[in-house]
Amino acid sequence: MTTVRRNVDLSKIQFTALPNDKVLDRFRCGERQIDDWAEKCADLDRQPRARVFCAMGEEEPLAHGFYSLSMTGVSAKGFDERGAEHFTHSGFIPFIYIDYIAVREESKGNGIGTGLMVDALRRCTAVARNVALFGVALNSLNAKTTAYYRSLRFGEKSQPNMQYPLMVLPVWTLFDLEKIRAE
């Protein structure tokens, strides 16, 4: 089935905490793993094991996209033990994890993904100003996203038998990024 892309007025987009359980209904982004996760992220947000933020259009019932932040990565259960990989035997590595970041198929091509990524990084910066962190981490799901994250200067931590590479953006890059506003 062909997805019809739509033009989105970015000036009407607000990045907001998950407003209700329905905004991610029928979420399809082309990555089944993310689509499955979107179905249950409202529960994870309530627990709270993740914090979910959405790109919402004015008076639109469905989110164009979302990102999710946590301190532990996605729960290992059912996700190839991705969450468990983040812990060391000796302790906890202080990263904020972008569990998932995705845009609906029909809303792609408008720059919403870029907006979501920058908004996520800004939110991480706000945390890093108050809590000591090493950076922002994520697991890249495919070669295309890995190349994109590399272009943003996420460093890759290669591991044997790791399906999804762990990628990290240093905390100092977050602080440098905020300086651009003052230029």
Partner 1 sequence: MTPFPLMDWLRRQFGGEKKKRSAFASEQEAYEFVQKIYEDSGGVSPELRRAYQFYLRNFHDDCPAERGPL
Burial of 62 by CB count in 10 Å (0-12 exposed, 13-18 middle, 19+ buried)?
Answer: middle
Please identify which residue in 3, 5, 14, 131 interacts with partner 1, judged by CB under 8 A: 14
In degrees and rounded to multiples of 5, residue 51 shows phi and psi of -115, 125
CA dist 158 and 162 (Å) reads: 8
Nearer to partner 1, 43 or 81 (CB): 81
Picking from 60, 56, 84, 80, the residue whose alpha carbon sits closest to that of residue 72 is 84
Q: Which stretch binds partner 1 (CB under 8 A): 34-42, 60-68, 100-108, 147-155?
A: 147-155
Which two tokens mark 128? Answer: 């890093």
Q: Is 3 in the site for partner 1 (CB under 8 A)?
A: no
Q: Which stretch binds partner 1 (CB under 8 A): 21-29, 31-39, 60-68, 145-153?
A: 145-153
Cis peptide leading into residue 170 (ω within 30°)? no
Residue 134: CB atoms within 10 Å: 15
Please identify which residue in 25, 78, 111, 163 interacts with partner 1, judged by CB under 8 A: 111
Nearer to partner 1, 28 or 49 (CB): 49
CB of 2 to partner 1, least distance (A): 27
Contact flags string 40-59 toward partner 1, x per CB under 8 A = --------x--x--------
CA dist 116 and 145 (Å) reads: 14
By the criterion CB under 8 A, which residues form the site for partner 1? 10-11, 13-17, 48, 51, 81, 84-95, 111, 114-115, 117-119, 122-123, 126, 134-135, 151-155, 157, 159, 162, 166, 168-173, 176-177, 180-181
